[in-house]
Structure 1
Amino acid sequence: MTQTRRALVVRGGWDGHSPEATTDLFIPFLRAHGFDVRVETDNEVYADSDVMAGTDLVLQCVTMSTISGPALAGLRAAVEAGTGLAGWHGGIADSYRDSSDYLQLVGGQFATHPAKAPDERVGDGSDNFLRHTIEITDLGREHPITVGLDDVELVSEQYWVLHDDLVDVLATTTHPAPDWHPWHRPVTSPAVWTRRWGAGRVFVATPGHSWDVLEHPTIRTIVRRGLLWASR
């Protein structure tokens, strides 16, 4: 008899990324693929070693916020032992800004999302919605998460992330160097990546500011495949 896998959805933090609505898009998918899904709004669940030992996949959507030492240690230990960790946008790449140990685990950290030209800004969140392309890398064209998918153009926040060389980059996005920003040449940033950590797998997609981006067929496919890939 096939053993049921267990997914832990941890959601909260900044409300602007709609942690409940966006994770609700993927919970039915996980259940349809045989996962028993538990939802928590407090990341202190990571400190419960019994829960984490029985968890095959953590789907985290917690933008900013903080994490305690025991919770972070529990998350790192679980991933090292084989629990998968996955998420999108600020829910995983802009979590726990004051924790270098979390940053090391995930491998990339939000730095900024560049804005429109000053004369195009209206003073709300749309000032940071830029037309940009998510480009599949050569590695991505062979990886099970992104194989067979085409580049995709989005109008949304374009994440600039700081990262290290342990990430396997499946897609990138390039920030131009317009006159109103201080950098002097285009900067290419990872947009989709994976990371091996001990026996565990980490999956990150930076698109996903809002539910409509996550419902784009290509982004939805990447996230769905990423969740399954990361799971134990």
Structure 2
Amino acid sequence: MTLKALVVRGGWEGHQPVKATDMFIPFLERAGYEVRVEGSPEVYGDAGAMAATDLVLQCVTMSQITSEQVAGLRAAVEAGTGFTGWHGGIVDSYRASSDYLQLVGGQFATHPGKEPCERQGGQEDNYLPHTVEMTALGREHPITVGVEDFDLVTEQYWVLHDDLSDVLATTTHPVQPWHPWHRPITSPAIWTRQWGAGRVVVTTPGHSLDVLEHPSVRTVIERGILWASRTASAS
């Protein structure tokens, strides 16, 4: 049986949605997926297309979604369609839609920056050295088993989240004199979420192509694609 993957990409160009998703389309094809690519979430409103989709890989930062489109996405995931993505392409999408945010389980809040005197006005102002640390669950989960804690120098996402998610990895934001918080903040970095018969997988690293090429990041995303995809029990 041929699996069907839907790649939805667009939104803010800073995350290079076309080049970023193009990195994973060959992997999908090698894994036996027939891949459809769309440049907007309009397809989410097509119930027939969504019912036939085993996996949605989304990379749409910010942008807009209609109530009908998000309802279609939620219904498809509840019925068994997998949903996955990375960084702002999944947790900084459709900021005005609370129904979307509830489905994903995490909302980008900020990425703390360098000391103000070191900033030069570019994206690099927000590139900080940090560690992605596996949780006890993450050390056993099929997506992250065997993946050790790893270090990155890139945007470190602080996300608002809830207790429905199963957190596989975290990252901790330290206290700095130029920041207004007064204790270290630990934020989920990789998580899964069961929504009806469907599975959601979120990986927050992935701001730029070099981060997506990091062996640990790429491994987690590729395993997440396979794990999130519609299971036999959801067919």
Q: TM-score range by the shorter chain?
A: over 0.9
- Which position in structure 1 is the counterpart of 2:144? 146
Deviation at 1:40, TM superposition (A): 0.2
Equivalent in 88, 94, 97 of residue 96 of structure 1: 94
Q: How does 1:9-28 map to 2 (within 5 A)?
A: 9-28=7-26
* Equivalent position to 2:61, from 60, 63, 66: 63
Determine the structure 2 residue equivalent to 1:50: 48
Per-residue Cα deviation, 1:141-173 (whole angstroms, up to 9, x for no partner): 000000001111000000000000000000000
Distance 1:187 1:30 in 2: 35
Q: CA deviation at 1:215?
A: 0.3
The match for 1:107 is 105
Q: Distance in 2 between matches of 1:25 and 1:123?
A: 28
Amino acid at match of 1:65: S
Structure 2: tracts of 5 or more residues without a match:
231-235
**Whole-angstrom distance in 1 between the partners of 2:135 and 2:210:** 24
- Aligned identity (percent) is 72
Q: What secondary structure, in the 3-state scheme, does the structure 1 residue paired with 2:163 have?
A: coil
Alignment deviations for residues 193-227 of structure 1 (CA, whole Å, 9 cap, x no partner) = 00000000000000000110000001000000000
TM-score, normalised with respect to structure 2:
0.97
User: Counterpart in 1 of 2:133?
Assistant: 135
Residue 42 of structure 1 and its aligned partner are, at CA, apart by 1.6
Cα deviations across residues 62-118 of structure 1 (Å, max 9, x unaligned)?
000010111111000000000000000000000000010000000000000000001
Partner of residue 188, structure 1: 186
Is residue 222 from structure 1 mapped to residue 230 from structure 2 by the alignment?
no
The letter for the 2-side match of 1:73 is: A
TM-align CA RMSD: 0.4
**TM-score, normalised to structure 1's length?**
0.99
> Structure 2: how far apart are the matches of 1:101 and 1:33?
31
Name the CA distance, whole Å, in 2 between partners of 1:101 and 1:49. Answer: 17
1:118 maps to which residue?
116
Report the Cα distance in structure 2 between the residues aligned to 1:22 and 1:161, rounded to whole angstroms: 21
Which 4+ stretches in 1 moved above 2 angstroms? none
Deviations 1:37-71 (A, max 9, x none): 00000211000001000000000000000101111
Q: Given the alignment of the two structures, is residue 198 of structure 1 paired with residue 196 of structure 2, yes or no?
A: yes
For residue 153 of structure 2, what is the aligned residue in structure 1? 155
Q: State the secondary structure of the residue aligned to 1:74.
A: helix
Gaps in structure 1 of 5+ consecutive residues: none
Structure 2 Cα separation of the partners of residues 165 and 226 of structure 1? 20
In structure 1, distance between residues paired with 2:224 and 2:162 = 20
C-alpha distance in 1, partners of 2:172/2:143? 21
